[in-house]
Structure 1
Amino acid sequence: MKILLVSDTESKYIWDFFCKDTFKDIDLIISCGDLKADYLSYLATMIHVPVFYVHGNHDHYYIENPPEGCTCIDDKLIVYKGIRILGLGGSMKYKNGPFLYTESQMSKRIQKLKLKLFLKKGFDILVSHAAASSINDDNDLCHEGYVSFNNLLDKYSPKYFFHGHVHMNYGKKPRTTVYNNTTIINAYDYYILEY
């Protein structure tokens, strides 16, 4: 299965110079947040595959105008073509507003999914906006990662963890990192993955 990951910035390559042949083999699109609703709707229309998304810290306008033709997976554990996908959007709370969570609040969100995680025997992909603590995150409060995510990776050892939020142009941030048995991918701009 080929997955198109998108996050944080609308790719000019995709939006301004779309070539259908380039994306003809894509089976699924996953957004890790902070993209215009129109952009996600455009992807759903042009590529004709499901688009799953979590909220980024700047996605407050989704409340009134969510992306059309797309599915929010925030606070959900869904199964798509046999792949268990857990969605936990938002980022560390650095001001008041929607989709901003303290470490404690993120931990409570995860606790509410405990039964589903037990029944599904874990998950294969974690999709978030923020990174995990000390793995591809940054030192300022806004871009600090969640220890709760580290705990999820330690306990369930998923195959993948997709996130955005920490733009790759913020310094020498890697696109991919391996943490124990989990491949972590920063979805900034866009990235195509063969699952």
Structure 2
Amino acid sequence: MKILVVADEESTYIWDHFERDRFKEIELIISCGDLKAAYLSYLVTMINAPLMYVHGNHDDYERTPPEGCESIEGKMTNFKGIRILGVGGSQRYSNGNWQFTEKQMKNRLRKLAPRLWYHRGVDLLVTHAPAYQIGDGTDPCHRGFQCFQTFVEKYQPSYMIHGHQHLNYGRNKRIHSLGSTQIINGFGYYILNYENEDRCQSE
């Protein structure tokens, strides 16, 4: 299954020079936050696939949600046998609605434990912020969550996909590993081949 992952920055290639054939095999689109609602609505219109999203720390989806898209914020969903869990937001650095302290994010994950038990784990963890010291930044805004690292070590999803840390900030490594979990920064866009060995087709 091919999944289009997007985050943080609208791709000029997709937005202005869309090539339908390149995305014809996409079965699912996942947004890791901080993209214009109009862009997400555009993607779900141009690509014949559902779009699921979590909140970033800058978007305004509560007031103007993207049309034709599904929020998986704080939810567990199953898509063609893939168990997907969404947890958006970033570290608290101001008074934004989708900013959390380490303790607050840990509590959010703890509340999801019954759903993880019911579904017997998770295959794909979708977040906005990265895990601590795994492709994150050193400033308060872009520092990752330690509880994400703990979560991945405990539940061992096949993938964790996130955004928030722009690859042009100086950390240009898109893919990391933690145990058996592959951690992918979806900045811009990235095509994940879920079933087979991972292949990158990004700008």
Which residue is equivalent to 1:120? 119
Q: Which amino acid aligns with 2:101?
A: T
1:190 is displaced (CA, Å) by 0.3
Contact 2:135-2:171 within 8 A present in 1 as well? no
Q: Which structure 1 segments of 5+ residues have no match?
A: none
1:4 corresponds to? 4
Aligned-residue offset at 1:96: 0.5
Q: Structure 2: state its 5+ residue gaps.
A: 195-203
The answer to whether the aligner puts 1:174 opposite 2:173 as a matched pair is yes
The AA in structure 1 aligned to 2:46 is M
CA RMSD of aligned residues (A): 0.7
Alpha-carbon distance, 1:185 to partner: 0.5
Instruction: Tell me by how many angstroms 1:72 deviates.
Output: 0.5
Aligned twin of 1:192: 191
**TM-score normalised according to structure 1 size:** 0.98
Q: Given residue 101 of structure 1, which amino acid in structure 2 is its aligned partner?
A: F
- Equivalent residue letter for 2:35: L
**Contact 2:153 2:178 survives alignment (8 Å):** no
Partner of 1:81: 80
CA distance in 1, matches of 2:192, 2:35: 19
CA deviations 1:134-182 (Å, max 9, x no partner) are 1001110100100110111010111000000000000033111111100
Alpha-carbon distance, 1:121 to partner: 1.0
1:69-104, CA deviations, whole angstroms, 9 ceiling, x for partnerless residues?
000101011111000001000000000021111111
2:52 corresponds in structure 1 to 52
Task: Give the ranges of 4+ consecutive aligned residues of structure 1 lying more than 3 Å apart after TM superposition.
Answer: none
Separation in structure 2 between the aligned mates of residue 177 and residue 134 of structure 1, nearest angstrom: 11
- In the alignment, what sits opposite 1:160? 159
TM-score by length of 2: 0.94
Corresponding position of 1:144: 143
Count of residue pairs brought into register by the alignment? 194
Alignment of 1:3-22 (within 5 A): 3-22=3-22
SS at match of 2:147: helix
Q: How far apart, in 1, do the equivalents of 2:48 and 2:96 lie?
A: 33
Q: Which residue type is aligned with residue 177 of structure 1?
A: H
1:111 deviates by 1.1
Q: Which moved more, 1:160-169 or 1:171-180?
A: 171-180
Distance 1:149 1:121 in 2: 18
| Amino acid in structure 1 at the alignment position of 2:151 | L
Moved more, 32-41 or 106-115: 106-115
Q: Aligned partners of 2:33, 2:20: CA distance in 1, in Å?
A: 23
Distance in 1 separating the partners of 2:92 and 2:171: 24
Aligned partner of 2:33 in structure 1 is 33
Query: Does the 8 Å CA contact 2:37/2:64 hold for their aligned counterparts?
Result: yes
